[in-house]
């Protein structure tokens, strides 16, 4: 039964990843709204439905890469190692969907092509590729921030006789064993697929554009006693996580590297290297690696020293040594640099000698050198954060399009709302927190559900942020980002990975604790930063 008169549904939720699933649960199971979900995937899982490439793994530790809201689910949680593999996460998401009976609200294999706000009815018209259009009062989008694949265009690609795959749309049943495999890209995904492919491929050629700082992941087995202790301690763990900066389950360091002695730096970095974890290395060792050039150089030099020691061929070691700041998303991997000591692995430095074209048999570099390949894997990442939003035909008040609103770069209020888009709520929209994501997703979905609940109770017909509130939020995000070194490195965090994409601030970088305080203040102050219409718009 729909509470909104004249609408097919009270709410449409797009996406069946961590975000969408929790939104359906909150709105349907807890608030009794009539909800329809859509996902272009064939089932639940989001990221973990799409990214089935060999080696796909979360680099957030198992005990905090999950929902915190359901105590029963937390106690049922199963993991054997410090990090969860893609099949384990997908299994977990399926369990959540069963436990909360979420699947019945979804239409899978259905892409939402567009959504248009109708001022006359005060409803969203949601248009799908199955030809269906439905109406709803609320539109909640969990489209994913690392979900719209980036497939660079290369000359001659259609002539290649082998197979081309993108890690973010990985089909079932691919066998890499005994094949000549090429991998383009050495980000988080590249590192994982490279380390998993090297031992099974006949030959692996890595096409590296930028050398990366990669620390060990430290994916050790977890004994039952450790897991039992984590489960017994969940209230404290989540309390710490939700009041921290990056929400990864460790205490961030309060010690600056800038003033630490060289011996102290060496000791702390070495301990972190042995412990493992990318975010831990950047945020758990010292507090100023992402903000101070001196501290950043110290961390970078430590990793460069490791590369020199690990990689036997000095020419290869040189190619693997980053030249820029240590200020992209921190990476970690399983014996990553060691891969390049293998006889069946070749490193092609495509910054020095760029890819000229695909040929029928492989990839030819500008120098003329040709690499013969059976399979090419694009580990080239995503049109991150706003990618899926600008791909859709999203139109708000007066027909204003999201593409137009964000043409100079994505904006957004609190990472969840946008001016002229009434009753429109984004999960992990632009300018949301830069963290381990499930706790931020929960934070946002809970705020969205509370806002909708307040609207329903008070008979509010529509909400949207004021221009002033939105602009102030974007300004705050810019100011915080400018205090860090991240904008100085070219990565998806600022939209610098997509040719032609405007470099823009995409995250609130002051941490999840501050973020939670900021959005709770908006609620507690009675949503004064939102325009709240009590009457239906003109009929
Ligand atoms: P997603 O899981 O991306 O789900 C979005 C869903 O929306 C997709 O299923 C998609 O099909 C659907 N969709 C999008 N547009 C449409 C449309 N127009 N119509 C219909 N359906 C649509 N985060 C961490 O915190 N820690 C990690 O260790 C980590 N590892 C990662 C590893 C990989 C390989 C990748 C790609 C991401 C990783 N992430 C990690 C980020 C990860 O995306 C988030 O943790 C989380 O899964 C995001 O959930 P979500 O529901 O917001 O989006
Ligand atoms: P990333 O981090 O964006 O990495 C993509 C990689 O692909 C990176 O090494 C790029 O080099 C490389 N790339 C992109 N385009 C090209 C072209 N045209 N030629 C050569 N190389 C190219 O994506 P990931 O999937 O690894 O990770 C994204 C997030 O998903 C990650 O942070 C996790 O949270 C999960 P570049 O460095 O730009 O020179």
**Rounded distance, CA 383 to CA 499, Å?**
10
Place of tokens 């050039």: 293
426 CB under 6 A from ligand 1?
Answer: no
pTM above 0.90, yes or no: yes
**Rounded distance, CA 485 to CA 292, Å?**
7
**Rounded distance, CA 142 to CA 39, Å?**
10
Q: How much distance in Å is there from the Cα of 294 to the middle of ligand 1? A: 35
CB contact burial 164-177 (16+ within 10 A = b; e otherwise): bbbbbebeeeeebe
Number of Cβ within a 10 Å radius of residue 518? 15
429 CB under 6 A from ligand 1?
Answer: no
24 CB under 6 A from ligand 1?
Answer: no
How many helices and strands, by DSSP H and E, does the chain display?
16, 24
**Rounded distance, CA 11 to CA 143, Å?**
15
Q: How much distance in Å is there from the Cα of 312 to the middle of ligand 2? A: 26
Q: Which residues of the chain have pLDDT under 50?
A: 538-539
- 169 alpha carbon, closest ligand: 1
Take atom 9 of ligand 1 and give the residue whose Cα is closest. 46
Kindly give, in sequence order, each residue whose CB lies less than 8 Å from that of residue 455, ignoring residues fewer than 6 positions away.
461, 463, 532
Task: Determine the pLDDT at residue 536.
Answer: 59
Task: Determine the pLDDT at residue 538.
Answer: 43
Task: Determine the pLDDT at residue 499.
Answer: 85
Q: How much distance in Å is there from the Cα of 50 to the middle of ligand 1? A: 8
**Rounded distance, CA 281 to CA 276, Å?**
7
User: Encoding tokens for residue 431?
Assistant: 């300018």
Task: Determine the pLDDT at residue 537.
Answer: 54
| Residue pLDDT, tens place only, 230-259 | 999 999 999 999 999 999 999 999 999 999
Is the ipTM above a cut-off of 0.95? yes
What are the two backbone dihedrals, phi and then psi, of residue 275, each rounded to the nearest 5 degrees? Answer: -70, -45
- 429 alpha carbon, closest ligand: 1
Place of tokens 């290297």: 273
How many angstroms separate the most distant Cα atoms in the chain? 74
User: Residues, the chain, total?
Assistant: 539
Q: How much distance in Å is there from the Cα of 253 to the middle of ligand 2? A: 28
Q: How much distance in Å is there from the Cα of 3 to the middle of ligand 2? A: 45
Tell me whether strands 163-166 and 375-378 are parallel, antiparallel or unpaired: parallel
333 CB under 6 A from ligand 1?
Answer: no
Instruction: Give the residue among 26, 28, 14 at the shortest CA–CA distance from 104.
Output: 28
Hey, which of 15, 23, 93, 94 would you mutate to test ligand 1's pocket, going by the most ligand atoms within 8 Å of its Cβ? 15
Residue 364 parent element (H or E) = strand 362-365
Hey, which of 55, 187, 353, 434 would you mutate to test ligand 2's pocket, going by the most ligand atoms within 8 Å of its Cβ? 187
**Rounded distance, CA 25 to CA 21, Å?**
6
Instruction: Give the residue among 45, 14, 7 at the shortest CA–CA distance from 394.
Output: 14
Instruction: Give the residue among 254, 331, 241 at the shortest CA–CA distance from 286.
Output: 254
**CB-based contact 74:211 (threshold 8 Å):** no
Q: What angle do CA 256, 261, 265 make, to 5 degrees?
A: 65
Instruction: Give the residue among 387, 16, 55, 42 at the shortest CA–CA distance from 193.
Output: 55
Instruction: Give the residue among 25, 27, 47 at the shortest CA–CA distance from 99.
Output: 25
**Rounded distance, CA 216 to CA 135, Å?**
49
18 CB under 6 A from ligand 1?
Answer: yes
Place of tokens 């369990």: 95
Q: How much distance in Å is there from the Cα of 185 to the middle of ligand 2? A: 5
**Rounded distance, CA 438 to CA 471, Å?**
26
Take atom 30 of ligand 2 and give the residue whose Cα is closest. 146
Q: How much distance in Å is there from the Cα of 137 to the middle of ligand 1? A: 25
Hey, which of 89, 185, 348, 491 would you mutate to test ligand 2's pocket, going by the most ligand atoms within 8 Å of its Cβ? 185
Q: Where are the beta strands (DSSP E) in 209-263?
A: 214-216
**Rounded distance, CA 48 to CA 319, Å?**
32
CA-derived radius of gyration, the chain: 24
**Rounded distance, CA 252 to CA 513, Å?**
12
How far is residue 476 from each of residues 30, 334, 495, 508, measured CA to CA in Å?
33, 37, 18, 8
Take atom 21 of ligand 1 and give the residue whose Cα is closest. 39
Residue 11 parent element (H or E) = strand 9-14
437 CB under 6 A from ligand 1?
Answer: yes
- 356 alpha carbon, closest ligand: 2
Identify the residues whose C-beta falls under 6 Å from ligand 2.
146, 152, 184-190, 207, 209-210, 329, 350, 379-382, 492, 497
144 CB under 6 A from ligand 1?
Answer: yes
Q: What angle do CA 293, 295, 300 make, to 5 degrees?
A: 90
**Rounded distance, CA 440 to CA 2, Å?**
29
**Rounded distance, CA 189 to CA 212, Å?**
12
Q: How much distance in Å is there from the Cα of 464 to the middle of ligand 1? A: 25
Contacts of 254-258 with CB under 8 Å at 24 or more apart are: 254/287, 255/286, 255/287, 256/286, 256/287, 256/288, 256/292, 256/295, 257/285, 257/286, 257/288, 257/289, 257/292, 257/294, 257/295, 257/298, 257/299, 258/288, 258/292, 258/294, 258/295
Take atom 3 of ligand 1 and give the residue whose Cα is closest. 144
| Residue pLDDT, tens place only, 521-535 | 999 999 999 988 876
Phi-psi region of 72 (alpha: psi -120 to 50; beta: other; left: phi over 0): alpha
């Amino acid at each position: 039964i729909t509470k909104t008169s004249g609408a097919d549904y009270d709410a449409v939720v797009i996406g069946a990843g961590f975000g969408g699933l929790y939104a359906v649960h909150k709105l349907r199971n807890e608030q009794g709204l009539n909800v329809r979900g859509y996902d272009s995937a064939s089932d639940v899982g989001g990221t973990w439905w799409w990214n089935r490439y060999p080696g796909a793994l979360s680099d957030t530790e198992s005990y905090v890469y999950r929902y915190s809201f359901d105590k029963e689910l937390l106690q049922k949680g199963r993991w054997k190692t410090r990090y969860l593999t893609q099949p384990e996460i997908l299994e977990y998401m399926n369990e959540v969907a069963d436990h909360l009976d979420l699947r019945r609200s979804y239409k899978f294999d259905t892409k939402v092509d567009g959504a248009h706000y109708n001022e006359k009815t005060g409803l969203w018209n949601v248009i799908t590729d199955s030809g269906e259009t439905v109406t709803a009062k609320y539109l909640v989008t969990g489209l994913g921030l690392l979900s719209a694949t980036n497939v660079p265009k290369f000359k001659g690609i259609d002539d290649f006789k082998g197979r081309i795959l993108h890690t973010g749309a990985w089909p079932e049943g691919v066998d890499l064993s005994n094949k000549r495999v090429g991998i383009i890209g050495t980000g988080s995904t590249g590192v994982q697929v490279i380390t998993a492919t090297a031992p099974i491929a006949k030959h692996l050629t890595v096409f590296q554009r930028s050398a990366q700082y990669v620390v060990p992941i430290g994916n050790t087995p977890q004994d039952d006693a450790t897991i039992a202790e984590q489960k017994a301690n969940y209230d404290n763990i989540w309390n710490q996580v939700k009041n921290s900066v990056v929400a990864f389950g460790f205490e961030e360091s309060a010690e600056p590297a800038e003033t630490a002695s060289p011996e102290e730096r060496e000791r702390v970095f070495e301990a972190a290297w042995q412990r493992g974890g990318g975010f831990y290395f950047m945020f758990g060792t010292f507090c100023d690696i992402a903000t101070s050039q001196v501290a950043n150089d110290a961390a970078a030099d430590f990793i460069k020293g490791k590369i020199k020691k690990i990689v036997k061929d000095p020419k290869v070691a040189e190619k693997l040594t980053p030249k820029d700041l240590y200020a992209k998303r921190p990476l970690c991997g399983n014996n990553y640099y060691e891969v390049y000591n293998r006889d069946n692995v070749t490193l092609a430095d495509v910054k020095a000698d760029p890819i000229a074209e695909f040929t029928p048999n492989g990839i030819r570099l500008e120098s003329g050198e040709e690499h013969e390949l059976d399979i090419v894997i694009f580990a080239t990442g995503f049109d991150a954060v706003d990618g899926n939003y600008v791909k859709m035909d999203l139109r708000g008040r007066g027909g204003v399009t999201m593409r137009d609103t964000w043409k100079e770069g994505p904006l957004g209020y609190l990472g969840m709302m946008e001016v002229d888009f009434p009753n429109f709520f984004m999960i992990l929209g632009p300018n949301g927190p830069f963290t381990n994501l499930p706790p931020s997703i929960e934070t946002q979905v809970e705020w969205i559900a509370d806002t909708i609940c307040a609207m329903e109770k008070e008979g509010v017909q529509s909400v949207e942020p004021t221009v002033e509130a939105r602009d102030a939020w974007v300004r705050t995000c810019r100011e915080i980002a400018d205090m860090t070194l991240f904008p100085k490195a070219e990565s998806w965090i600022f939209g610098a990975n997509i040719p032609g994409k405007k470099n823009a601030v995409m995250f609130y970088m002051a941490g999840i604790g501050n973020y939670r305080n900021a959005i709770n203040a908006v609620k507690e102050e009675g949503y004064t930063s939102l325009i709240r219409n009590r009457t239906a718009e003109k009929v």
